[in-house]
Structure 1
Amino acid sequence: MLEPLRQGLPPLDPAAVSDAASCALPARYEAVGDARRFTRGTLDQWDLSERFDDVCLVVSELVTNALRHALPANAPRLPGQDPPVRLHLMRWTERLVCAVRDPSEESPVTRETDDFSAESGRGLFLVDSFSDGWGWHPMAGGLGGKVVWALFRLQRAGACPHPAD
């Protein structure tokens, strides 16, 4: 189930992006709340409020993973330095992609767990469960780090939620 590690973004035409928004997140756990508020405001602005619960859960997990696993514990933070984590939300007509960029070169690691009451270790399981697909890829060019993304399918305006039998 948790196989889509190390694949690029799904085939989406960048020229067809309807909307895009991003925010920089500082290296502190309060940034998860900032990411949730940013996601709420962006989805409200895009008339996608009905998708907030699933998207917010996935954004929270991706940002938490970036803060917990992608940042060196004792790395010095220089004043004026760019925040190390960035959240991107991109909307196409029928898709929404949430992407979190972090400075680590390490691939996301899934943990098999039977203890679903555990406080940690199930983030990528939740991402896989609540999104329509996810993956990651290293940053291109001279940029270091990686992007972990999750895709959500959107209904077209005026489309029937359930096709006729």
Structure 2
Amino acid sequence: MGTNGSTMLEPFDALRQSLPPLDPSAVSSAASCALPARYEAVRSAREFSRRTLGDWDVPERFDDICLVVSELVTNALRHALPADTPYDQDPPVRLHLMRWASRVVCAVRDPSNDSPVAREADVCEDFSAESGRGLFLVDSFSDSWGWHPMAGALSGKVVWALFRV
């Protein structure tokens, strides 16, 4: 399900161009996994992240990163895929984890060109609602986050979150 380091191909290079301004040549570790258009993919993304972060020995932000991965993947599956996306097509969502000496970036690529929309906390009247707070959580648990349209030949966007470790 995942790939590591030098096995990254051209899509990973396009993804790096869409990330925050960090020296891409200084990436010490990278891992990626494709996620199918099913909500079970959120659990797979969390498990992949836990394994990868364990391999990288990044215990101090473990829970924060896994929570943000869950939110970004859920948002991609819920808001970025056309309703008629077939379950058996090539996985439309991809999770990338990259580690620099003092930072980890998680990035989720999806096929939509629409920007992510964070709901204002004071607009949400029902605080017991089970949805609508994903990007608020991403903002709360990461050190910074953002999104960019994909660069190069790939369409869609990447939503990323940066963590200092």
Q: Identify whether the pair has TM-score above 0.5, normalized to the shorter chain.
A: yes
Match of 1:150 in 2: 161
What is the percentage of aligned positions where both structures have the same residue?
A: 80
User: Residues 37 and 85 of structure 2 are in contact (CA less than 8 Å); yes or no, is this contact kept in structure 1?
Assistant: no
Equivalent in 37, 59, 82 of residue 90 of structure 2: 82
State the Cα RMSD in Å: 1.2
- Asked whether the equivalents of residues 40 and 49 of structure 1 are also in contact (C-alpha less than 8 Å), the reply is no
CA distance in 2: counterparts of 1:103 and 1:14, whole angstroms: 23
How much does 1:114 deviate? 4.5
- TM-score (structure 2 length as normaliser): 0.84
Give the aligned partner of residue 107 of structure 2.
Answer: 99
Paired residues in the alignment total 145
- Give 5+ residue unaligned stretches, structure 1: 1-7, 155-165
CA shift digits 1:37-59 (9 cap, x unpaired)? 00000000000133211001100
Q: Which residue of 2 aligns with 1:124?
A: 135
User: In structure 1, what is the Cα distance between the partners aligned to 2:28 and 2:81?
Assistant: 32
- Which one has a larger percent helix, Structure 1 or Structure 2? 2
Contact kept, 8 Å, 2:76 with 2:108, in 1: the verdict is: yes
Aligned 8 A contact 1:116 1:122 in 2: no
> How far does residue 142 in structure 1 lie from its aligned partner after superposition?
1.8
Deviations 1:33-78 (A, max 9, x none): 000000000000000133211001100000000000000112345x
**Correspondence for 1:55 among 65, 70, 89:** 65
Q: Distance in 2 between matches of 1:95 and 1:18?
A: 10
* Contact in 1 for aligned 2:37/2:86 (Cα 8 Å): no
Partner residue in 2 for 1:37: 47
Larger radius of gyration: 1
For residues 8-19 of structure 1, the aligned pairs below 5 Å read 8-19=18-29
TM-score by length of 1: 0.84
In 1, the alpha carbon distance for the partners of 2:133 and 2:50 equals 23
Which residue identity lines up with residue 135 of structure 1 in the other structure?
Answer: G
> Corresponding residue for 1:158?
none
Structure 2 residue runs without a partner (length 5+): 1-17
